Amino acid sequence: MLSSPELTRRTGGRQIRAIVFDEPMIARRVAELGAQITAAYPDGELLLIGLLKGSFIFLADLVRRIERPLQVDFMVASSYGAGTASSGNVRLLYEPATDLEGKHIVLVEDIIDSGRTLARLTELLGGRRPRSLAICALLDKHLASEPPSGLRFVGFDAPSGFLVGYGLDYAEEFRHLPFIADLT
């Protein structure tokens, strides 16, 4: 378990096992992803759609590393069904008001676990006739039976534990940690 007075202040004393990706590692990788995205879209309109809430910090850092015109919007999806396992039933609580037709869309997600959320969302967005549709995920646990279609930009391979920080939560806690940590 990690412990320092600073960490204890931040977490209110809740325990964290280890830091998996620290701030400099994240900053370096996000800059690389920004450069990849810049190079991947030499022309056309680009719209990044952040999947809330988990992607809010990642998206904020990422767009500042993309050196071409772009627009930002968000999506809020809720998985419903009993239990903690992702059910694949996804309901949209908010979706982009802007027209997606003819635009390059990059859906920005915090972490891919089963991949079910993304599979459903790409299906929904694909129906709005974008010019292209890609996924950018900060973390991939590689647990999906097949990689989500359109997964084009990935930050890190994630260990199988439960990760928090840099936008990722456990029961809405820990999103504000500047690093990514293993809780389990």
* Catalytic residue numbers, as ranges: 113
Dig out the tokens for 71 from the structure: 């627009």
Q: How far is CA 173 from CA 54, 138, 170, in A?
A: 11, 19, 5
Q: Which is nearer to ligand IMP, 50 or 130 (CB)?
A: 50
Q: Is the dihedral of CA 131, 95, 57, 142 positive or negative?
A: negative
- CA–CA gap between residue 62 and residue 148 (Å, rounded): 21
**Is 36 among the residues that bind ligand IMP (CB under 6 A)?**
no
In sequence order, the 6+-apart residues with CB closer than 8 A to the CB of 170 are 162, 164, 183
Choices 49-57, 97-105, 124-132, 134-142 (CB under 5 A): range interacting with Mg ion: 49-57
Choices 51-59, 69-77, 89-97, 128-136 (CB under 5 A): range interacting with Mg ion: 51-59
Dig out the tokens for 100 from the structure: 């997606």
Helix or strand holding residue 111 (H, E): strand 104-112
**Is 112 among the residues that bind ligand IMP (CB under 6 A)?**
yes
- Which of Mg ion, ligand IMP, none sits in contact with 122, Cβ below 5 to 8 A by type? none
Q: Which is nearer to Mg ion, 34 or 115 (CB)?
A: 115
**Is 78 among the residues that bind ligand IMP (CB under 6 A)?**
no
**Is 168 among the residues that bind ligand IMP (CB under 6 A)?**
yes
Q: Which is nearer to ligand IMP, 8 or 89 (CB)?
A: 89
Among 101, 165, 147, smallest CA distance to 127 is for 101
Dig out the tokens for 29 from the structure: 């990788």
# residues contacting ligand IMP (CB under 6 A): 15
Q: Which is nearer to Mg ion, 86 or 132 (CB)?
A: 86
**Is 87 among the residues that bind ligand IMP (CB under 6 A)?**
no
The residues that touch Mg ion, with contacts defined as CB under 5 A, are: 54
